[in-house]
Amino acid sequence: MNKGFLITFEGGEGCGKSSQIKLFTKFLEEEKIDFILSREPGGTNIGEDIRNLLLHSKNEIDSKTEFLLFSSGRADHIRNVVKPALEAGKVVVLDRYYDSSFAYQGYAGNLNLDDIKLITDFAIDGCVPDLTILLDISYEYGFARKAKDDNLKNLDRIESKGKEYHDKVRRGYLELAKKEPNRIKIVDATKNKEEIFKEIVDLFLKK
Ligand code: TYD
């Protein structure tokens, strides 16, 4: 049984996840809450190697291969970072987790959701989030924000998949939230930063 608290941040490209995670972890620091921050893909040495392959490979990678790579990185991350921290009673903040696989490789990449569930359950060893913040954003809004923040010429392999793919990612996330309303909370990512932050803290404190 986990003693800690697992909170994950999810959303499409340009949803403002990074700034909200920064604000939220600053809040945890101020409240003297013991936490770790990690990310997927990544989070361990092997995870970062796999991240590099997934985001920057010049080769075609189909959805199934993509998903299995994300999942192997995830298994390593859970075993070596997430589970030990939860067992030590910490709050674990994750920048993306398995809901990304359902939205991107499942809903947008057309993989069977039951297959994703089976392999995900195998990879995560019972580490289901206590709370998932879904920063909901349209393709147009998200990529407009991205264009302002950084150079759209440097899009990675997954960011470059186009509007149709990213529209499906968004719809996928909303479906997931509909299926698990107690865990996945939708936050309108077009609101201002402070308002969103307040909403996230309220959701966290309620849990
Ligand atoms: P990242 O640089 O973390 O993107 P962002 O800043 O948008 O979070 O890159 C992660 C990319 O990997 C992002 O495009 C979403 C994708 N992804 C999947 O497709 N499946 C997954 O299971 C995970 C964890 C991420």
DSSP string, 48-96: HHHHHHHHH-SS---HHHHHHHHHHHHHHHIIIIIHHHHHTT-EEEEES
The HSE-up count of residue 161 (CA atoms within 13 Å, CB side) is 22
The pLDDT of residue 136 is: 98
Per-residue pLDDT at 47: 96
115: tokens are 């297959």
CA atoms within 13 A on the CB side of 51: 15
In this prediction, the residues of the chain whose per-residue pLDDT falls under 70 are: 1-2
pLDDT value of position 150 = 76
The domain defined by 5-206 folds into Rossmann fold (3.40.50)
User: What residue segments make up the domains of the chain, in order of their start?
Assistant: 5-206
pLDDT tens digits, one per residue of 28-64: 999 999 999 999 999 999 999 999 999 999 999 999 9
Strand, coil or helix: 147 = helix
**Strand ranges of the sheet holding 91-95, from the earlier edge strand across to the other edge:** 35-39, 91-95, 5-11, 131-136, 184-188
Pocket lining: 106 vs ligand 1, CB cutoff 6 Å: no
Whether 135 and 203 have beta carbons less than 8 Å apart is answered as no
pLDDT at 2: 62
Ligand 1 probe mutation, 119, 134, 158, 166, most atoms within 8 A of CB: 158
13 lines ligand 1 (CB under 6 A): yes
Report the candidate in 45, 7, 2, 51 with the shortest Cα–Cα distance to residue 25.
Answer: 7
User: Which pLDDT belongs to residue 174?
Assistant: 98
- Sort residue 129 into left (φ over 0), alpha (ψ -120 to 50) or beta: beta
Q: Mutation test of ligand 1: which of 17, 70, 96, 166 has the most ligand atoms closer than 8 Å to its C-beta? A: 96
Whether ligand 1 lies within 6 angstroms of the CB of 42 is answered as no
Hey, what are 22's tokens?
Answer: 């920064």
Q: What is the pTM of this model?
A: 0.97
